[in-house]
Structure 1
Amino acid sequence: MPALTRGLASNPPAVPEGKDKLRLFDDKLIGFLMEVRASGRVTYYCRYNDARGRQREVRIGRHGDVTLDQARKRAQEIKAAAALGGDPAAERDKLKGVPTFGEFVEGRYLPHVKDKLRSYRDQESFYRLRLKAAWGSRHLDQIRPGDVAELQERLSREGLAGATINRYTAFIKRVFNVALHWEAYEGRNPAQRAQMRREQGRERFLTDAELVALFRALDVEPSRTAACAIALLAATGARRSEVLGARWERIDIDRRLLTVPAVSSKSGRPRYVPLSDAALRILQRVPRGESPWVFPSVVDPDKPVGDLRKAWARVKERAGIEGDLCLHQLRHTYASRLVGQGRSLYEVGQLLGHASTAMTARYSHLAPHRLVEAANMALPDVC
């Protein structure tokens, strides 16, 4: 067993014929070795026994990238760490085992939440549209809090609303929390202390004239399925997922109810959407086929329609509705009209399926006359 010298490293012996490599061990530092390949490439390694007595080996580096003296010093450090109970090879394997953001999200996270989260489609699109390109090839332990802040700024420059940026941030935080829980990597959640953006509440409601124009535009919309779905959103104030996920078997015409199962309900409990006369008339106009879905996909009738954006854009343009009006604001319009006609916040909250009155309180300013009536009852005859 020769001593490894600088000269030997610079001019290594030839690899024996029929072999692909030759290994030379140092006689000064046990476990330190030099591997010579047939190509003439020289690489340094260190061999040691771990705490369980198993033989382990760590690659130090190629000759040229590191010198012989540097490699020997590193080998001494590795052996010292092993003598103190450490396992450098295991730490190396653990580091190599850290998945990239893309590998974890696509291979583990999204399949795990697909049937558990109602927001699965949103989260999948967050990853596919922006996060895959930004972080897909980066390992989980390489993403830092600064990267999250930089992403938030980029989303803001792209014109995304504060609420949307907050949803991206919440998704990232959840992904890393799950990764830490599953021990996919060691470290901290880079989004744990990310600053959330201020959200601007939207007060946009359709006027009576706009509602009339909307339904006239729906009457001539080429996609009858989409037109009926949009009309039912306006007539019930239901959430988009509740209407698009409706099945014929869950519609009780006699009791005038649409049942939203717990798995599809925002509260996690079954919800019952009352069907008004207008809602029943709309359902009677829905093209009825063999699909179990009230609003089936044109591409695959065994699945519900997933996107109304194109039809909604056509309807808005045809109705002459200006501004950034989204489908969800049909729900706000429904609530605002009820409050404006004197219905109590409790009733409105029940119709909308709100879990608490605090969620309905946003509409209280739309019925000031009700508050004035209540205020008059405090001192009716004193002043």
Structure 2
Amino acid sequence: MPRQTQRLSARGVAALTKTGRHADGNGLYLVIDKNGAKRWVFLFRFGGRLREMGLGGLSAVSLSRARELAGEARAEVAAGRNPIESRKAMRRVPTFGECADQLIESLRSEWRNAKHKAQWEMTLTEYAKPLRSKPVDEISTEDVLRVLKPIWATKPETASRLRGRIERVLDAAKALGYRSGENPALWRGHLKNLLPRRQKLSRGHHAAMPYAEVPAFCSDLRQLNSISAQALLFCVLTATRSGEVLGARWSEIDLAKKLWTVPAARMKASREHRVPLAGPCVDILERLRNARRTDDAGDYVFEGQRRGRPLSVMALTMVLRRMKHGHFTVHGFRSSFRDWAGECTSFPREVAEAALAHVVGDETERAYRRGDALEKRRKLMAAWAEFIASSASTNVVRLGRR
């Protein structure tokens, strides 16, 4: 009885969700990966070994086109040629670096700020440098280990992210038909058996300056006249994330109402966040507004050297380093604020968490709490600004414990 061919249909292919291979016949398979991605492969025997040839992802290659490509590959096998090698000879396989750059560009719309793009570019350019010039179909497990091992123990968080990004690049290359077989950067069932256990990669806390030291630090910070220093001071005063500050636009600022409204698209939780502006914040903004060149001024509040562009994602970190406080992180000032609010004030926990734009409570509780406690947070941020204005920790006034 002859083997059944063309078992799949266009409608059936779209409806399939089960992970694994789904045969169409004559060596053509639709593969559904664990992440739900669908791609075509052609399986054939050559030189006594079973080979797998990627034909592209379902989003780019239809069922009918996959059958055409599989037919061309079968003809190559019948003629005694390896279709994978024939395809390489006909088209140039891109390097890992080219695939990485292409993936970063395609993911640009997913990221809320330039910081994510910069982090991806840095890891896939600097740490993955040994891979960049190599054809993407030649990247092996040994190649991946060669870039991970030097930082696996010393920079575990960076190494973990680098591994995931390499895996993503190689998955994309496979979907485009440039690679076949297992991903050499896969963690579960692969690198997990070759590198130290995951416990050594646990996420650490951002190094935070003790809140009692923040007033003196901010006093020194005010002596600097750079736009980066003002941005960092604004970041500390508002207890916001650096990306939110660097991306702040004048169109989001209402000086009359002393309010900064960060749109949902720029927030980690994808929810609009209203930030009450204490007096020192307003002072910073008014100085910047008065210094703007009205003829060609851009919309970014903290504009970089290039007109119409924000400060670099490293600008605030570099201020810390120049002030000899590089062992702390910019994000850590949010922890400083939270510790101060819990230790030195009687403001409810929910108000402090709302100031940090944290989601509090379960879904039901949040459904009943529709407001964002703006006026309560305004008093909290005014108290934080007053605390920061004190010259030293000895001037701290305890406002009571919760």
Task: Choose from 294, 318, 333 the match for 1:310.
Answer: 318
Cross-structure match for 2:109: 115
Residue 141 of structure 2 corresponds to residue 148 of structure 1: no
Whether 2:124 is the aligned partner of 1:127: answer: yes
Alignment of 1:319-338 (within 5 A): 321=325, 324-338=327-341
Matching residue of 1:163: 157
SS in 1 for 2:110: coil
Is it true that 1:100 corresponds to 2:95 in the alignment?
A: yes
* C-alpha contact 2:350 2:360 (8 A) present in aligned 1: no
My pick for the range that moved more, 286-295 or 140-149, is 140-149
Q: Which has the higher contact order (CA 8 A, sep 6+)?
A: 2
Structure 2 Cα separation of the partners of residues 145 and 356 of structure 1: 43
The offset of 1:146, in angstroms, is 4.0
Q: Residues 84, 134 of structure 1: CA spacing in aligned structure 2 closer, same or farther, 3 A cutoff?
A: closer
State the alpha-carbon separation in 1 of the partners of residues 77 and 205 from structure 2. Answer: 62
C-alpha distance in structure 1 between counterparts of 2:346 and 2:133, whole Å: 56
Do residues 352 (structure 1) and 356 (structure 2) align? Answer: yes
Q: CA deviation at 1:85?
A: 4.9
- Amino acid of the structure 2 residue aligned with 1:251: I
Residue 116 of structure 1: how far off its partner (Å) = 2.8
Q: Residue 246 of structure 2 aligns to which amino acid in structure 1?
A: L
Amino acid of the structure 1 residue aligned with 2:149:
E
Aligned position for 2:304: 297
| CA–CA distance in structure 2, aligned partners of residues 286 and 206 of structure 1 | 27
Verify the 8 A CA contact 1:349 1:357 in the aligned structure 2: no
2:213 is aligned, of 210, 215, 223, to 210
1:231 to 230, 233, 238: 233
Matches within 5 A, 1:271-282: 271-282=273-284
**2:352 partner letter:** V
> How far 1:261 sits from its partner (Å)?
2.7
User: Displacement, 1:82?
Assistant: 4.8
Contact persistence 2:265–2:271 (CA under 8 A): yes
The match for 2:288 is 286
- For 1:88, what is the secondary structure of its paired residue? coil
Give the drift of 1:333: 1.0
Shift in Å, 1:84? 6.7
Distance 1:357 1:125, change over 3 A: farther
Tell me the residue number matched to 1:188. 182
Distance (whole Å) between structure 1 residues aligned to residue 218 and residue 332 of structure 2:
15
Give the RMSD, CA atoms, in angstroms. Answer: 2.8
The CA distance in 2 between the partners of 1:268 and 1:208, in whole Å, is: 28
Q: Is the alpha carbon distance of 1:83 and 1:200 closer, same or farther for their aligned partners in structure 2, counting shifts above 3 Å?
A: closer
Q: Provide the residue aligned with 1:137 in structure 2.
A: 133
Aligned-pair CA distance for 1:247: 0.6
Shift of 1:212: 1.9
Report the secondary structure of 1:272's partner residue.
strand
Q: What displacement does 1:109 show?
A: 1.2
In the other structure, the counterpart of 1:66 is none
User: The residue matched to 1:263 in structure 2 has which SS?
Assistant: helix
Q: 1:350 to 1:209 in 2, by over 3 A?
A: closer
Larger Rg: 1
Q: Per-residue CA shift, 1:208-237, capped at 9, x if unaligned? A: 5421221121122141x1111001111111
What's the CA shift for 1:292? 1.2
After superposition, the Cα gap between the structure-2 partners of 1:83 and 1:137, relative to the gap in structure 1 and judged at 3 Å, is closer
Give the conservation status (yes or no) of the 8 Å contact 1:295–1:304: yes
- How do residues 67-86 of structure 1 correspond to structure 2 at under 5 angstroms? 82=75, 85=78
Letter paired with 1:303? R
1:343 aligns to what? 347
1:50-71 per-position Cα deviation (integer Å, ceiling 9, x unaligned) = xxxxxxxxxxxxxxxxxxxxxx
Query: Aligned with 2:157: secondary structure?
Result: helix
After TM superposition, give the deviation of residue 200 of structure 1 in Å: 5.1
Tell me the TM-score normalised to structure 2 length.
Answer: 0.59
Normalising by structure 1, we get a TM-score of 0.62
Contact 1:236 1:334 in 2 (8 A): no
